[in-house]
Structure 1
Amino acid sequence: MLGRQVGSLLSGVEAALNAGLLSADGPRLAFRHDLIRQAVHENLPLAVRTALHREAADSLRGIGARSAEVAWHVVMSGGPVDDDAVTTLTTAVRELSSSAPDAAADLAQRVAGLLPPHDGRRITLLTDAAEYLGRTRRVHEALDLVDTTLPEGLEPLQEAHLRLVAAEIHQAAGDDAAAMTHLQQALDLPALPPDLRVRLLKTKATGHVYLGDITAAEQTGPWLVEASYRSHDPAVVVSAMVFQSQTSFYRGRLARALELAEEATRRAGTQSAALYLRPPRIPALWLATVLTATDRLADTERVLREGQREAEALGLGWSLPHWHAARACALLEQGALDDAAVEAEASLMVAGELEITLPNPQARSVLALVEIRRGDLAKAKDHLRAAETGSGTNTTQRYGPWVSLARAGLADAEGEDGEAAAALTASFQSREPTRLLAVPPSHWPGIVRIALRDKDPSLAQAVSGALRSLTAQDESRQIIGAVRTHVDGLLHRDPRALASAITGYRSTGRPLALAAACEDLGELMAASADTTSAIPYFEEAGRLASASGAGRDQERIRRRLRRLGVRTGPVRNHTAGPQGLGSLTESERKLIPLVVEGLTNRAIADRLYVSVHTVNTHMKHIFTKLGINSRVELTRLAIERAISADGAD
């Protein structure tokens, strides 16, 4: 840059080294500290500084330096920029996007600021910036950037691209209505290229799936899947597989849905472009949903743990609320109420950090259902009220069936049979399996039980009809068969069907479903005066409810046994509040020895192979229950009481 030989600079370099400004420890000279570099940089007159940056960019470009290195000097020179510089900068932005989307978004916005308002490349850079911000925790900034850029009188192609980015971000945040509005406005624009129209239609079709309108999804474009498979973009191909799996699943073709979901997940693991697919098109997230409705429930936890850990490692913050909510649903299906509640809380916590994510009705509904089982109806009511905010008020929305379940469960617990049945009818009155499959199988008999209690056979028969449709398409699923016989037993008051359901449930890993079938059979036997045979079923149901932490269920069964002359011990509620060491859950106790070892929450998460947000939530509960405020206090208490991970102290 100075036009001088290296040798002529040695005296100046030596003086800088002696003064401690520069360091020669490595293969290249460097400032001893970044603050020194910054001080030298800021003390240069502005005109000199920008001129030096411009010359540095030219010199680096001439020797073939990395685009990102050149780009920094171009941006710092403050423009104006020529075509070569814009090309270099755009290349740098895209090179950064896969490894550092935050930095890529910031650079794209800085470059856009150097271009005149009428330059079309400026809008492309801002669209890229919004897309990259949407991959990080800065989702709110991404949507603000979209809202700022849209009124600028864009060309149709530019507007369509920007609205697609906005729609995908809204869809990931659970705001399906906003997503569909952007998509329809984009599709109404003239002269869109075929590949962009395919992407818009595919995203719209996914929106229809999550709004429960599978027919509309299938009719969005019969040629859509075939066109997607011809794409050169692996992410488009993978998302087409997920879409096919989704429509197959909600039509009741579970085997085909599982096959497609597993293949999409396998492909996504080998294609880096597929990492940035947004919820609900992330293959592993969808695979977990399918697995939860099959006999492979145990595989769900593995898929979710691995996917969640990878998302955290890659910084895909926008997906984390969905991973936690999916784990909450799977754990609820497994009867692990305490852990399900922790994952649902973690989902809400991360969603709050993203700022724009709506109050997740699914996570809130899981929390309401857990509190109903525990017996804290006041907390359940609070969670239900939050779930009904926004999209949760409409049963046709993505999580409408979950909200209906929670609303009905609370009404049932309060003895409002008519209100409970009415809450379910809105979501589950169709004989098609679509809405039924929106919630896991162990919840289905409960819908029938509430309907029969209200003497509304139409809803119960609708669930039975949907189940018959499912079993007609695939008879190999043990859980579907067990649920069907359970429902038949309730509908026809058939003890043999209920006994068959109990046998079917025993190997499915769903203890609360098994407990419900045992209780139902016990009630049927007791009503026919066969009280002696009923008692073992009530006792098994009570043990299962106790092991799951379902205190309200356990208390109900205990009262029933007492009426049959069987004395039982009092129900011990482990989660009612800050009761000391006895209130800690098994998962919370596992953390304490690791805290004593001095591990951070991140290190504990790595050791236990869970999310750091899960650990954070557990730690918050531990502090509250033990009435302490620090890890030091917890360590002292653990040492004094010799608390171990297995619960002994």
Structure 2
Amino acid sequence: MALRPAAGLVGRDRELDVIGELLRALQRGAAATLLVEGEAGVGKTRLVQALADLAHAEGLTVLRGNAHPFERTRPFGAVADALELRRRSSDPLRSAIAGLLVGGAEGQTGVDGTADLRFRVVEEVVDLVETACAETPVVLILEDLHWADDSSLLAFRSIAHVLSHVPLILVGTLRPAPRSRELDELLDDCVSAGARMVSLRSLPAHDVEALVQAQLGLPPGPLLTSMLVKAGGNPLWLVEILRSLSIEGWLRRSSGFAEATADELPGSLRDLVLRRLGYLPTGTLELLQAASVLGDAVSIHDLAVVRRRPATEVVADLEEAFRSRLLDEHRDAVVFRHQLVQQAIYEDLPVPARRALHRDAAGAFAEAGADLSTVASHLMRGADRGDLEAVRWLRQAAADAAARGPSVTVDLLRRAVELLPLGHPDADLVTAELAEALQRAGLVDEASAVAEAVLDRPHRPEVDVPLRLTLVSSLSLQNRAPELIDRAESALQSSVLRPSDQALVLTQASYGRTFSGDFVGAEQTARRAFGIAESAGSVEMIVWSLAALSVAVKAQGRYSEALESTQRALALTFDPVDHGARLRHPHFFHGMALADSDRLGEARSAYLRAIEESEEFGSAWLLTDMFLLAAEERFLVGEWDDAAAELESGVRLAQQHGQRISINQSKAYQAVMAMARGDVAGARSALADVEEQLTADQPSYGVELVGFAASMVAEAEGEPARAHDMLLRCWNRDVEREVRYYHRYLAPPLVRLSLALDHGDLARRVVEAVEAGAILAPDVASVQAAAQRCRGLLDDDPAPLLQAVELARRSDRLLDHAGACEDAASVVARSGHESDAKDLLSEAQSRYDTVDATAWLARVGAGLRHLGVRQGARGPRRRPDAGWDSLTPSELAVSRLVAEGLTNREVGRRLHISPHTVNTHLRHVFQKLSVSTRAELAGKVARSSAGGNEITHSSDVSPGPDVEAGH
């Protein structure tokens, strides 16, 4: 009885409805992420094929790639296949990205001198996909994410986030197992961002009957039904049972049913497939076995290379496999009908034979000049201990992959270590390479353990320095300050450590002290590093040590010294230009020193320059912090709408990159803005992941700002004592470590609450400490203002408070200015100068108005009413929630540029913000304008302009308070 091709999917009506819904939305310009999960053979590929067919029928672009179990040594493999990234591509962008995938460009090196191109490649891939979406809606399918390398998962995650407002359906298929930690994180991230998850289940009995009807044209009879039960509702197994019965001639028509004539089939799909192999000629079987070793999709050319036979002979011998429906064709490759078919053939090979075939394949590919990742993928499985040629290839492949797939590099080098004979002299060399790869992959615990194990035993002299450098870097990242200092000092005793390396070790140790809160020790260590670097004449290390020194001294309140250090670093870097020093990003550190010195406009320019250079170099190691500190500058000056968008995107990017240095302060700023607007729940949410550090023995960098924000929440909830305790804990920690950087934040509210809670002696000690710190920064207005403010509160004296207001006006820091006005108003009013107090509160009210700080406006309004001011109807204190007037200036600018057809990346370059921030702005714009696609947004922009309504705010600056006569 002959099989009929299935006309469509059986038992997947609900899933097809989801696909139809997403496609209809896609044609309107909406984006979506679809995740299809299910066991092998359950129909994931068939479902996404239905999606692809429907998309093709509508004239949409379909891009499709697969991850493969034997290709995890190939960074961005699935993405490169889907987007056809080839060096010889006629598309310059695709060709350029392919160039990055095979080694990058000159000058694109990371902080340790090796290329670090992952994030550069991801940004280019995102831009390529967005450009494709601008031409026609796109369906991008990446199958078998459970086999994907980490770089491909990173690209999938970025596309899902950044391209959430372009006409794109991003599809991923995966099995419930195996799953890496990175894949679990990807799934959690996508689902929380709104991805649709479809879980394919086994078919119930009535759908099994329908599938048989579709395949055979008849429903199953009783015996056939009982045989099909062993398939457990798995569609692939069901079809293979029917196919095997048909090949055997064991199907017949009987009384309107399709019935089996025998019950002799194996009890597993694997055995079912292997049974069919027995009918194949020997030559065909050998080719199938070789093909199974190469993977589930194999080019005829590769199979011919491995078998060392002409391609025409290979094609002829495969005809029987095609006739037996074990193989299909796809593009320029032959593919097993399913990975389970390939897996069955592969696992039937005895392990020694399987390993031998892999080793032969590696040798054949090497002779043919195949890329390193292809050779390495087979050496991973085929080489035996003692195969020194395999070790050499694996090391070469690891070096080649280091820029684009650190986790791939780790796997390759681990295997290389395993293959070396015990006691081989190269073991230390390979282990040193492994330790560095572990560090670059973020596995710093293991990196330090590997490095320590070698350093603590006799080892080859040439690995001593690389291992020491890896170890101190890993210990710094782990915030293991005491061990870091010990190891750094030990490294400095090494007679083979070059002076530039000594400077690097000490600078890393300085940063380790900084991030653990020991700024005095950090300064001392940075000065030692500087002295050695200067003696050695290493411009790069001089610049790097000056950057570390600037961070250490500014934390102690010596802002002019920090500024001098970063100015000197810039001069050394650019006069003349030193490329290595540029990669230490001196503009970024200069921006921090400028911001800390109240030169906020100059700081903004420095941050923009640093971001531009980072993108130019393809250097992403500090890019997240650059974005977050640029957002901090906007927060400080009161550009809160833009700050909120940039913090939101920056925090997400930091979590994606695994960089936490700026997380504390960023979360604190988000919480402060939420509190200002009366959103206590939003503030609590922002602090949820960081507030526990307030009671930790070793809190991380920036915990003081978390205490500052958390104290606002506590005070708003009517718990001033708890608020006071939070501030005091942070203050005491800083006093112990001679940290003065956070005085501007902690001291004024701590003095105010101490006085309110009758802790006068404590308030006096705080004031004395703040005044001592102010002596170190005579030219920093906000530092001077904090000292005057605290003194005025302590002495209940209007004069220093009024001086604080005058100083705060010059600093451009919104919180300092408005807070000084409020404090001064309270004391001035008690001194009998109510008119001056009213003016001060009105000044604070005006500043709060500009950032829609409704909760603080209410507090100031209550103070004015207490002074007898009756305020008339005031203009809207905040933008409306919807419509053009609800958009911020940046959201308007993004809307205009998107309407012109610019991609997120192009918009970001035009506005000097990241594509991630552009996407955040767009998400807010879509919500406010009730649109769901870029096309709808462009239409709204066009209609508004055609109607003579320029898209501008009628009130970009909110009107000030309308105070009635008698104020």
Q: What TM-score, normalized to structure 1? A: 0.77
Deviation at 1:523, TM superposition (A): 2.2
Q: Write the distance in 2 (CA, Å) between the matches of 1:579 and 1:435.
A: 48
Does residue 1:361 correspond to 2:664, yes or no?
Answer: yes
Greater fraction strand: 2
**SS of 1:549 mapped into structure 2:** coil
CA 1:243–1:368 in structure 2 vs 1: closer, same or farther (change >3 Å)?
A: same
Deviations 1:255-309 (A, max 9, x none): 22211122224445643334555xxxx5444333322221312111111222223
CA 1:430–1:176 in structure 2 vs 1: closer, same or farther (change >3 Å)?
A: closer
Partner amino acid for 1:40?
Answer: H
The 5 A counterparts of 1:219-618 are 223-231=528-536, 234-268=539-573, 270-274=577-581, 277=584, 283-355=586-658, 357=660, 360-389=663-692, 393=696, 397-429=700-732, 437-439=740-742, 441=744, 444-563=747-866, 564-569=868-873, 572=876, 574=878, 579-618=882-921
Aligned to 1:14: none
Alignment check: 8 A CA contact 1:412 1:420 kept = yes
Deviations 1:99-118 (A, max 9, x none): x8226885786477457434
Does residue 1:214 correspond to 2:519, yes or no?
Answer: yes
Q: Write the distance in 1 (CA, Å) between the matches of 2:504 and 2:452.
A: 23
Does residue 1:121 correspond to 2:121, yes or no?
Answer: no
Deviations 1:16-54 (A, max 9, x none): xxxxxxx999xxxxxxx99x9965234312568655655
Deviation at 1:346, TM superposition (A): 1.8
**SS of 1:176 mapped into structure 2:** coil
Aligned to 1:44: 305
Alignment check: 8 A CA contact 2:611 2:623 kept = yes
CA 1:459–1:333 in structure 2 vs 1: closer, same or farther (change >3 Å)?
A: farther
**SS of 1:102 mapped into structure 2:** coil
Moved more, 372-381 or 243-252: 243-252
Q: Write the distance in 2 (CA, Å) between the matches of 1:297 and 1:221.
A: 26
**SS of 1:507 mapped into structure 2:** helix
Q: Write the distance in 1 (CA, Å) between the matches of 2:450 and 2:694.
A: 27
Deviation at 1:367, TM superposition (A): 0.9
**SS of 1:101 mapped into structure 2:** coil
CA 1:508–1:361 in structure 2 vs 1: closer, same or farther (change >3 Å)?
A: closer
Partner amino acid for 1:256?
Answer: E
**SS of 1:647 mapped into structure 2:** coil
**SS of 2:510 mapped into structure 1:** helix
Q: Write the distance in 1 (CA, Å) between the matches of 2:514 and 2:409.
A: 36
Deviation at 1:371, TM superposition (A): 0.9
**SS of 2:932 mapped into structure 1:** coil
Aligned to 1:101: 403
Greater fraction helix: 1
Deviation at 1:350, TM superposition (A): 0.6
Alignment check: 8 A CA contact 2:445 2:474 kept = no
Deviation at 1:607, TM superposition (A): 0.8
Deviation at 1:487, TM superposition (A): 2.5
Q: Write the distance in 2 (CA, Å) between the matches of 1:108 and 1:381.
A: 39
Partner amino acid for 1:207?
Answer: G
Q: Write the distance in 2 (CA, Å) between the matches of 1:267 and 1:369.
A: 39
Partner amino acid for 2:953?
Answer: G
Instruction: List gaps (5 residues or longer) in structure 2.
Output: 1-87, 91-97, 103-296, 309-359, 956-967
Deviations 1:602-641 (A, max 9, x none): 1110110111122122222223344443222322333444
Alignment check: 8 A CA contact 1:579 1:626 kept = yes
Deviation at 1:387, TM superposition (A): 1.6
**SS of 1:506 mapped into structure 2:** helix
Alignment check: 8 A CA contact 2:885 2:954 kept = no
- RMSD of aligned Cα (Å): 4.4
**Between Structure 1 and Structure 2, whose CA radius of gyration is higher?**
2
Alignment check: 8 A CA contact 1:241 1:261 kept = yes
Q: Write the distance in 1 (CA, Å) between the matches of 2:609 and 2:736.
A: 30
Q: Write the distance in 2 (CA, Å) between the matches of 1:450 and 1:585.
A: 36
Deviation at 1:125, TM superposition (A): 2.8
Aligned to 1:146: 447
Aligned to 1:202: 507
Alignment check: 8 A CA contact 1:430 1:466 kept = no
Alignment check: 8 A CA contact 1:284 1:303 kept = yes
Deviation at 1:205, TM superposition (A): 2.9
Q: Write the distance in 2 (CA, Å) between the matches of 1:637 and 1:415.
A: 46
CA 1:430–1:204 in structure 2 vs 1: closer, same or farther (change >3 Å)?
A: same
Partner amino acid for 2:869?
Answer: G
Q: Write the distance in 1 (CA, Å) between the matches of 2:491 and 2:89.
A: 59
Partner amino acid for 2:306?
Answer: P
Deviation at 1:542, TM superposition (A): 0.8
Q: What TM-score, normalized to structure 2? A: 0.54
Moved more, 431-440 or 517-526: 431-440
Alignment check: 8 A CA contact 2:672 2:683 kept = yes
CA 1:176–1:388 in structure 2 vs 1: closer, same or farther (change >3 Å)?
A: farther
Q: Write the distance in 2 (CA, Å) between the matches of 1:41 and 1:339.
A: 53
Alignment check: 8 A CA contact 1:341 1:367 kept = yes
Q: Write the distance in 2 (CA, Å) between the matches of 1:572 and 1:517.
A: 25
Q: Write the distance in 2 (CA, Å) between the matches of 1:87 and 1:274.
A: 33
Q: Write the distance in 1 (CA, Å) between the matches of 2:683 and 2:778.
A: 36
Aligned to 1:647: 953
Partner amino acid for 2:768?
Answer: G
Deviation at 1:540, TM superposition (A): 1.7
Deviation at 1:368, TM superposition (A): 1.0
Higher relative contact order (CA 8 A, sep 6+): 2
Deviation at 1:398, TM superposition (A): 1.4
Alignment check: 8 A CA contact 1:358 1:390 kept = no
Sequence identity of aligned pairs in percent?
Answer: 23
Moved more, 478-487 or 597-606: 478-487
Q: Write the distance in 2 (CA, Å) between the matches of 1:342 and 1:434.
A: 34
Q: Write the distance in 1 (CA, Å) between the matches of 2:471 and 2:667.
A: 25
Deviation at 1:241, TM superposition (A): 1.4
